[in-house]
Chains A and B, each alone.
Chain A
């Protein structure tokens, strides 16, 4: 479970996050929706401690983020950025093996789970396993980044606009693959940052709308289209 208690993040006098209080339950699939600069990425990065709150507290699994040993906590949290950010000096299988190796899984288990995951993401391991990131297209690289984030069965998966750098056809394909790869993981909490309403509604069951560092709407995905907040109306009508 993730809990924000009156969380603010200040940068040079301006509040990027402004007294946010939120609760996300275990296994929930949440989208953070907002325009650029709304604070959604910052709201994401306080969960895995990449950004520290200026005031307030973020509580993950009942423990304040300030009390967690961050490397250990982060190994339980999958993370996908807008850029695939694969390790250029490691091949596909070694990239995917990063967190399992930090957790000291046996190599056979890493191999078996990586291959299963690559199959699911439609990157046949026999063809792609030994390739280096430079030999892959942007969409293929992002699939490897997804596999790398999901392999160790994280309790939480954080995604920061993972598909927005891809062209529309590939984006739709990856949204589907991503949904399928995460759907059967009922225990995994998903927080997905996007500025794309359709993407939010495809992937999440709850949509939280950020504006100027605040939560302005928090609604089940199926009620989103009828939500009356003016910013939501603008998203719906765009």
Chain B
């Protein structure tokens, strides 16, 4: 039981670190994609391609790389960041695109600078969409993180891989079920956060 708790904690920690980094990189990247259509389109295309790399292969690719690769939690976090980036970048872009053109024009005509428009109007109005992206990224990352055990990343995948090698269904489930529950819990909590921001933004 204590091993289960420890692995669950490890699992959550890896995901939390990865999603935090992905937010820190993805929201600015999405904002950039909104302002600079062409360059932003390229960035989006790259995150798209990254998303299509099978996760087991991704961990394999990372093993020989210096600094970001190798064995352990570090390559696991790097891979999860890469997977989490796309939904966050895309939802930030969509959220900013959806801001009413009249509202944007009014803000500009009242003398807001670009920066004031972004921080005072566009990002607050895009927040529910951005949170939706964070929710999707988190749920995905919780699932993909089980594979991190293949490169020694720890987490609930450790139990699953051990169960697979021992052909022990109960052991597999002891890792898979908590992982699934974590994903469902993250989904429920972040859906509430999303609703909270949507209400504050004045949608419902």
Give residues in A with beta carbon < 8 Å to B: 48, 50, 70-77, 79, 81, 83, 85-89, 98-99, 102, 132-134, 145, 148, 158
Contacts and interface: CB of A to CB of B under 8 A. Distances in A.
Interface residues of B, number: 20
Nearest to B116: A102
Interface in B116-143: 116, 121, 124-125
B100 interface: yes
Interface in B77-135: 100, 102-103, 105-113, 116, 121, 124-125
Interface stretch (B15-23, B60-68, B195-203): B195-203
Interface of B: 100, 102-103, 105-113, 116, 121, 124-125, 200-203
B197 to A, nearest CB: 9
B110 A99 contact: yes
A83 B101 CA distance: 10
Contacts of A77: 109
A89 B200 contact: yes
Nearest to A134: B202
B109 A87 contact: no
A88 B203 contact: yes
A89 B202 contact: yes
A86 B105 CA distance: 11
A87 B99 CA distance: 10
A89 B201 CA distance: 4
A65 B80 CA distance: 50
B111 A88 contact: no
A71 B111 CA distance: 4
B110 A132 contact: no
